[in-house]
Chain A
Amino acid sequence: MTIQLTHFSAAFVFALFASIVFGITHRETTRDMVRYGLYCFAMFLGGVLAAGWAMWLVRR
């Protein structure tokens, strides 16, 4: 069985699961875990979008 993800959906899935693991392993309390996980997720996706727009500008 194979699966074909788009570039963005692959980045989204990666960001989601990596953020969950980072949140759990890098913080002590549940509240801090959730906050750090959300922060990591936002940074991952923000980085993807920023890099995408940067490449679009370079291409112009």
Chain B
Amino acid sequence: MANSTIAKAKPAAEPAATAGLMPVIAPAVGWLIPGAGHIIQKRWIRGALLLISIGTLFVLGLMMQGHIYKANGGDILDILGFIGDLGAGGMYIVTLAMNGGQGAIAFAIADYGTKFMIVAGLLNFIAVADAYHIAIGKKQ
């Protein structure tokens, strides 16, 4: 009798544990890889579209010879640029590791590229918040 009660209780406990971790895991994974926070919650199309949109913006910014900001304590605009870039997560880390994004912003298109990468990071922050809202059940 007691064994059957435990056996019935076990399957109910697993989804609760998964739901308990998802509000932490989904935003973290979503920050690292844009759209992955949606994909691990089975929002395949939304996740793929976010990955393509944010990824393409970031890569185009790099190809336009945009400048990527590193951690700094100097000019306020540089700090804000760093915060924006940081939102791109894994793409930002990989770019820094490969010593990319060292453009001097010598012409208008390179400046656009810099803004593309910052906006890609900021859009990823929004996507991370959305993944969190899905994880806590605030959004479908």
A residues contacting B by CB (< 8 A) are 1-5, 7, 10, 13-14, 16-18, 20-22, 24-25, 28-29
Contact = CB atoms under 8 A, between A and B. Distances in A.
Contact of A10 (B50, B56, B109): B109
Q: Say what secondary structure dominates the interface of chain B.
A: helix
Classify chain B: how many residues form its interface, as a range: 20 to 34
Interface string B37-58: 0000000001001100110110
A25 B53 CA distance: 13
Given A4-B109, A7-B108, A10-B112, A17 B63 contact: no
Contacts of A24: 46, 49-50, 127, 130
Interface string B111-124: 01000100100010
Interface of B: 46, 49-50, 53-54, 56-57, 60, 63-65, 108-109, 112, 116, 119, 123, 126-127, 129-130, 139-140
28 contacts: A1-B63, A2-B63, A2-B64, A2-B65, A3-B60, A5-B60, A7-B112, A10-B112, A13-B56, A13-B57, A14-B119, A16-B53, A17-B54, A17-B57, A18-B53, A18-B57, A18-B123, A20-B49, A20-B53, A21-B50, A21-B123, A21-B126, A21-B127, A24-B50, A24-B130, A25-B130, A28-B139, A29-B140
A43 B125 CA distance: 22
Given A21-B126, A28-B140, A14 B50 contact: no
Given A14-B57, A20-B53, A25-B129, A5 B109 contact: yes
A7 B50 CA distance: 24
Given A3-B64, A13-B56, 8 more contacts: A5-B64, A5-B109, A7-B108, A10-B109, A10-B112, A17-B123, A21-B53, A24-B50
Nearest to B107: A4
Contacts of B108: 7
